[in-house]
Amino acid sequence: MSTIIELPARQIKPAVVRVAAYARVSTASDRQLHSYAAQVSHYQQMISSRAGWVFAGIYTDHGITGTSTAAREGFQRMMAAARAGDIDLILTKSISRFARNTVDLLEYVRELKILGVAVLFERENIDTSTMDGEILLTLLASFAQAESESNSQAVKWAVRKKYEEGYAHSITALGYQTVGREIRIVPDEAELVRRLFHGYLAGISPEKIAQQFRDEGLTPTSRGLVVNPNRARTVLDNPIYIGTIIGQKYIMPTVGGTACLNQGEEPMYVIEEHHEPIIDRATFDAVQAELKRRKRAGHLTLAPSVGSSALTHRVICTVCGRRYHRKTKHRTNWSYKFWWCETATRGNGNPCKAKQIKEPQLHQTVLETLGLELWDDEKILSLIDHIEISPSLKIRVVLTTGDTMTRTLAGGK
């Protein structure tokens, strides 16, 4: 007689999937913040209720645009975790929440795929682990980017319309706050502005005055603003303090790009007597005259210090009028000196389109212009008043005699 033995089924544990989620809203409005909280709560419940899924974190950004991933700290932390092998699957609400730039989107999705990490877009029901998913993703991402560009044009139109009607848009300045369509004075900050203007006319640098504010405990202000000594000088030439608004002084040519100086590409709007001034026009005009005087005389009164050169304070950008700064670029086993417009060195883009100029190139051009063979700081100081450099690397050397000589930078194109 046959013997039958029943073998119990082996319990197979489901594979553990480490699941993370990414949530983002683009503004800090109450409605958007509610959406942000709802996304976070949704993913927490979704991951914890699914068998085989292990919570691997929720990465978030709020009040940040989706047109570029560079400024999104939460997104970048999520990518770092994926590269470290801590994530298997990423959940996100939609393509537009993840990125609206097609190039960025596909670059990150493909990198994640190589790392073995899938992305699930809920609204579009796309799983990037499948080939069909990537094809559909490419198409939808293009639509998302087109939508972003369309929205950008709509926002630009709305901003221009405000300026045409005589209203300011999104004003952020020491001494003022925007309430609806009104710009109102913030009393404690207005007093700091007055001290900057009157102190400058009294011969005190704005950087030193700003440091005095810190020493006296006047900053942060009632609104929490910090008066940075490195930025205090920008207050002095801002016409907002005499009640004037200049609309579209800076523009952003591409969606998610860098703001640059409007040099005629778009209309500008000058709105006078727009709001209550903090500084009277006579004081403002006196400061502008003093700024120009010091700008002209500054390179004559400031001799090179130890470690600087004969060109310190004497190389000027033809676009913004600021001086070129001498910088050092370090490499693994070597370094070199170069000169770059002060505006570009501030870390807010390069609106002047100024190029970095290696010091040997600049020295060679100056020597050739002056007919000299060897560089001698004292000799150069005695001959040159200042040098003007354009973005196309055209150099105009102004001599102490008043004569000028023009040349293209050595090795420049």
| Residues 6 or more apart in contact with residue 207 via CB below 8 angstroms | 229, 230, 232, 233
Residues 124 and 132: their CA atoms lie apart, in Å, by 13
pLDDT band at 299; cut points 50, 70, 90:
very low
**Long-range pairs, 375-384, Cβ under 8 A, ≥24:** 377/304, 377/309, 377/310, 378/310, 380/310, 380/311, 381/303, 381/304, 381/310, 384/310, 384/311, 384/314
Residue carrying structure tokens 């033809």: 318
Residue 338 shares a structural domain with residue 379: yes
Residue where a domain stops, chosen among 264, 290, 316: 290
Residue carrying structure tokens 């020295």: 363
Residue 315 shares a structural domain with residue 254: no
Token readout for 381 is 């100081």
* Position 187 in a domain: yes
The beta strands (E) that lie in 9-87 are given as 17-25, 53-62
Tens of pLDDT, residue by residue over 16-61, are 899 999 988 765 444 545 566 777 788 888 888 888 899 998 898 8
Residue 11 is predicted with a pLDDT of: 55
Residue where a domain stops, chosen among 290, 323, 341: 290
For residue 22, what is the domain's CATH number?
A: 3.40.50.1390
Cα radius of gyration rounded to whole Å, the chain: 29
Mean pLDDT over all residues of the chain?
Answer: 79
Indicate whether 394 pLDDT > 70. yes
* Position 8 in a domain: no
Instruction: Report the length, in residues, of the chain.
Output: 413
* Position 207 in a domain: yes
Residues 41 and 63: their CA atoms lie apart, in Å, by 18
Residue 303 is predicted with a pLDDT of: 41
Per the structure, the complete domain to which residue 86 belongs is given by 17-148
Q: How far is CA 132 from CA 98, 125, 126, 128, 137, in A?
A: 19, 11, 9, 8, 8
Least confidently predicted of 3-12, 77-86, 161-170:
161-170
* Position 107 in a domain: yes
Residues 248 and 258: their CA atoms lie apart, in Å, by 14
DSSP letter (8 states) at residue 332 = S
* Position 154 in a domain: no
Better-predicted residue by pLDDT, 269 or 334: 334
Residue 360 shares a structural domain with residue 279: no
- Is the Cβ–Cβ distance between 233 and 252 less than 8 Å? no
Indicate whether 190 pLDDT > 90. yes
Tens of pLDDT, residue by residue over 89-136, are 999 988 778 876 667 777 888 889 889 999 998 888 888 887 666 666
Indicate whether 234 pLDDT > 90. no
Token readout for 120 is 């699930």
Residue 343 shares a structural domain with residue 373: yes
Q: Which helix (H) or strand (E) holds 182?
A: strand 182-185
Residue carrying structure tokens 């914890």: 48
Residue 272 shares a structural domain with residue 313: no
DSSP letter (8 states) at residue 129 = T
Residue 126 shares a structural domain with residue 188: no
Least confidently predicted of 265-269, 307-311, 347-351, 373-377:
307-311
Residue 250 is predicted with a pLDDT of: 61
Residue 126 shares a structural domain with residue 190: no
Residue 234 shares a structural domain with residue 352: no
* Position 7 in a domain: no
Q: In what order do the strands lie in the sheet with 335-341?
A: 324-330, 335-341, 357-358
Residue where a domain stops, chosen among 232, 263, 290: 290
Residue 56 shares a structural domain with residue 135: yes
Burial of 185 (0-12, 13-18, 19+ CB in 10 A): middle
- Is the Cβ–Cβ distance between 367 and 409 less than 8 Å? no
* Position 65 in a domain: yes
Residue at 76: amino acid letter: Q
* Position 413 in a domain: no
Residues 134 and 48: their CA atoms lie apart, in Å, by 27
Token readout for 276 is 């209550």
The domain total for the chain is 3
Residue 26 shares a structural domain with residue 140: yes
Residue 347 is predicted with a pLDDT of: 76
Residues 195 and 278: their CA atoms lie apart, in Å, by 11
